[in-house]
Structure 1
Amino acid sequence: MILPGSTSQALAATLADVAGEPLATVDYRTFPDGERLLTADALAEETPERAIIVASTTTSDAHVELLQLQDAAREAGVDEVVTVIPYMGYARQDSAFKPGQPVSARAVARAVSSGTDRVLLVNPHEETIAEFFDVPCETIDAAPALADPLPAALADPLFLSPDSGAIDLAETVRDAYGTGDVDYFEKERDYDTGDVEIRPSDATVEGRDVVLVDDIVATGSTMSESIGVLHDRGVGSVYVTCVHPLLAANARTKLAAAGVEAIYGTDTIERDVSAVSVADALAAKL
């Protein structure tokens, strides 16, 4: 039985269809004091052998919902609880950046571990985050699916990652697309003025279609600046692909104003740009 968090209802429904699992309807409530309560009537009617919780933790409330879903399954007497976290919030805080700060990803992982038998993560910000869990945790790479919505005839395509550390992601999307070059952006700071220059490290972009590839687009500031640099250099069309289209605040406006042709993401975070689903990749691991 699949139990969806409020942030992952569409993905949960798709996964239920792909995996052949029953989908539970969950009622979500918020009390006047801000506390959350959920009810899964299906758990009262029958006790499945396995409960699969599907919940992206895009907010702190979503984290609480996930823990409540786990506890509801345990309370109902479910033998096995599998927790699918398509997008894990706090994952970018994977170390204590300053003295006195927590390792938030570790704190969240420990909390999740207390109510589940195993965890599936989709493209966490760092693979090592899986080690924070006290139960078996498997990571799933959804990047190949990002090639699917791209136009079939890109002009001399170039797949660009935001830095050298993410070039594997760009290579994965390029390989799935079937053709094209791969490069990454370099950032150079002028310490006298404080200005930062962003530029592709080696490849020329003039007249070429460029696909920007990242694991997550949050505020869109760096991505929109990169798009501007590409247009200054005579690029053809610019496409943005990301596994997790968080697109917080005015990110969409920034990208549009910078001249992006299209944005494609997965349904780890359910947005209007969620052009492909990670359900098949998840179902293969259930």
Structure 2
Amino acid sequence: MILSGSATQQLAAALAAELGDDLARVEYESFPDGERIVRVPPIDGRAVVVASTVSSDAHVELLQLQDAAREAGADEIVTVIPYMGYARQDEAFEPGEPVSARAMARAISTGTDRVLTVCPHEQSVLGFFDVPATGVDASGRLANPLPADLADPVFLAPDEGAVGLAQSVRDGYGVGDTDHFEKHRHSGSDVTVTPSDVDVSGRDVVVVDDIIATGSTMSEAVGELDDPARVYVTCVHPLLAGNARLKLANAGVEAVYGTDTIERAVSTVSAAPAVADALQSL
């Protein structure tokens, strides 16, 4: 049975359809003091909890769903975290700071038998869980919504660490070159980007990343491109906080495509098939 978090209903429904599994009718409620509660139906067998932790409330809701599933009779719980919040806080950047990704992973581990998470920002995050944890790569699906007539396309990652994502999208599309920008992170919010050596003049460019949060780094990267024909942006996790979409449009981006790990207007493809494959291989 599939149990969905309130922020992940589209993906949970798509996953249930992929697996031919039951989609539970989960109820979500908040008390007057702001505390949350969930209610799930009786469960016979395995429960798959699907919940992106896009906020602190979503983290609490995920923990409640796991506990409710066990109370409802589940004999196994698999937790699917399409987008794991706090995953970028994977180390203590200043003395006295927490490793927040580790704290969240440990809390989630107490209520589940196994974890799957889609394209974690760093693979090392998987080691923070106290139960078996597996990363699921859904990046190749980002090729699906791209125009069929891209002109001599270049698939660019915003830094060297994301080149594998760009290659996955390029492979999914079938043709094109890959390259990357040089990104220098000075703090959590201070990032500078220097242009790649690749010649993009007159060519269509697809910039690929795992997460777009504020859009500042991505729009800066696009602004450094030298006379491209068209620019498209793809990302697995379209967080798009604040005016991120406006920043990208002002930088000249034709369109933004993301998956439904975070449900936004740009979530034009589903990560459900990749998650379903991973679940079926367990």
Matches within 5 A, 1:231-250: 233-250=226-243
SS of residue in 2 equivalent to 1:174: helix
In structure 2, relative to structure 1, the CA distance for the partners of 1:5 and 1:228 (3 Å cut) is same
Structure-1 residue corresponding to 2:63: 67
Query: Does the CA-based 8 Å contact 1:187-1:199 persist in structure 2?
Result: no
Instruction: Name the counterpart of 1:130.
Output: 126
Alignment partner of 1:207 is 2:198: no
Residues 125-175 of structure 1: CA deviation (Å, up to 9, x unaligned)? 001111111111111000110111111121110011011121111111111
Shift in Å, 1:198? 2.5
Matched, 1:229 2:224: yes
**Which amino acid in structure 2 is aligned with residue 228 of structure 1?**
G
Partner deviation per Cα, 1:251-274 (whole Å, 9 max, x = no partner): 011111111101000000011111
Query: Match of 2:151, SS?
Result: coil
Q: TM-score, normalised by structure 1?
A: 0.93
Corresponding residue for 2:99? Answer: 103
The share of aligned pairs that are identical, in percent, is 66
- CA 1:165–1:188 in structure 2 vs 1: closer, same or farther (change >3 Å)? closer
Q: Provide the rounded CA distance (Å) in 1 between the counterparts of 2:256 and 2:44.
A: 39
Q: What is the rounded CA distance, in whole Å, between the counterparts of 2:9 and 2:134 in structure 1?
A: 22
Mapping 1:264-275, distance limit 5 Å: 264-275=257-268
Distance 1:278 1:187, change over 3 A: closer
Deviations 1:216-235 (A, max 9, x none): 000000111122222xx211
Question: 2:33 — aligned with what?
Answer: 33
Which ranges of structure 2 fall in alignment gaps of 5 or more residues? none
1:94 and 2:90 correspond? yes
- Aligned AA (2:89): Q
Query: For the structure 1 residues 58 and 187, does the alpha-carbon distance in structure 2 shift closer, same or farther, using more than 3 Å as the test?
Result: closer
Name the aligned partner's letter for residue 131 of structure 2. Answer: V
Amino acid at match of 1:235: P
Once superposed, which parts of structure 1, at least 4 consecutive aligned residues long, lie more than 2 Å away?
186-189, 194-198
- Measure, in 1, the Cα distance between the counterparts of 2:240 and 2:203: 26
Q: Provide the C-alpha distance between the structure 1 equivalents of 2:99 and 2:13, rounded to a whole number of angstroms.
A: 33
The count of aligned residue pairs is 275
TM-score normalised by structure 2 residue count: 0.94
Is the 1:83–1:118 contact (alpha carbons within 8 Å) kept by the matching residues of 2?
yes
2:80 alignment partner, SS class: strand
Shift of 1:32: 2.0
The residue type paired with residue 88 of structure 2 is R
Q: What amino acid is aligned across from residue 53 of structure 1 in structure 2?
A: V
State which structure, 1 or 2, has the greater radius of gyration over its C-alpha atoms.
1
The one-letter code of the counterpart of 1:156 is D
Runs of 5+ in structure 1 lacking a partner? none
Kindly provide the amino acid, as one letter, of the partner of residue 284 in structure 1: D
Compute the displacement of 1:39 (Å): 1.3
Q: Cα 1:197–1:25, aligned 2, differ >3 Å: closer, same or farther?
A: closer
Partner of 1:143: 139
Deviation string 1:157-208 (CA, Å, 9 cap, x unpaired) is 001101112111111111111111111112579xxxx9956212x2111101
Counterparts in 2 of 1:210 and 1:120: CA distance versus 1, 3 Å:
same
Cα distance in 2 for partners of 1:271, 1:62 equals 16
Residues 1:240 and 1:94: Cα distance change in structure 2 (over 3 Å): same
101 and 150 in structure 1: CA distance in 2 versus 1, 3 angstrom threshold: same
Give the deviation of 1:77 after TM superposition: 2.3
